[in-house]
Amino acid sequence: MKNLIAPHGSDTLKPLFVGDSSERNSLTEATKEMPKLLLNSAAAANAVMLGAGYFTPLNGFMDKKNSINVAENMVTEDGLFWPVPIINLSKNVDGISVGDDVALLDPNVDGTPVLAIQKISAIEKLTDNEIKHIASKIFGTTDMEHPGVANFLSLGNYMISGSIKVLNYSYFPSEFPGTFATAPEIRTMLSNAGWTTTVAFQTRNPMHRAHEELCKMALDRIKADGVLIHMTLGKLKAGDIPGDIRNAAIAKMVELYFPENTVIISGFGFDMLYAGPREALLHAVFRQNAGCTHLIVGRDHAGVGDYYGPFEAQEIFESDVVKNSLKLKIFSADHTAYSKKLNQVVMMRDVKDHDKDDFVLLSGTKVREMLSNGEELPKEFARKEVAEILMKYYPVSYTHLTLPTKA
Write out the catalytic residue numbers: 204-205
DSSP class per residue in 320-380: HHHHTT---EEEE---EEEETTTTEEEEGGG-TT--GGGEEE--HHHHHHHHHTTPPPPTT
Q: CA–CA separation, 28 vs 149, rounded Å?
A: 34
At 189, which helix (H) or strand (E)?
helix 183-193
Contacts of 260 (CB under 8 A, 6+ apart): none
Q: CA–CA separation, 18 vs 399, rounded Å?
A: 51
Residue 75 DSSP one-character state? B
Residue 39 DSSP one-character state? P
Asked, as a colleague might, if the bond just before 57 is cis with ω within 30 of 0, I would say yes
Instruction: Name the maximum alpha-carbon separation found in the chain.
Output: 71
Given a contact cutoff of 8 angstroms between Cβ atoms, the answer to whether 241 and 368 are in contact is yes
CA torsion, ordered 45, 47, 48, 51, to nearest 10 deg: 160
Which stretches of 19-171 are DSSP H helices? Answer: 21-30, 41-51, 64-73, 128-139, 147-152
Q: CA–CA separation, 230 vs 248, rounded Å?
A: 14
Give CA separation, 289 vs 1, 103, 125, 147, in Å: 12, 27, 32, 27
Q: CA–CA separation, 357 vs 373, rounded Å?
A: 25
> Is residue 61 helix, strand or coil?
strand
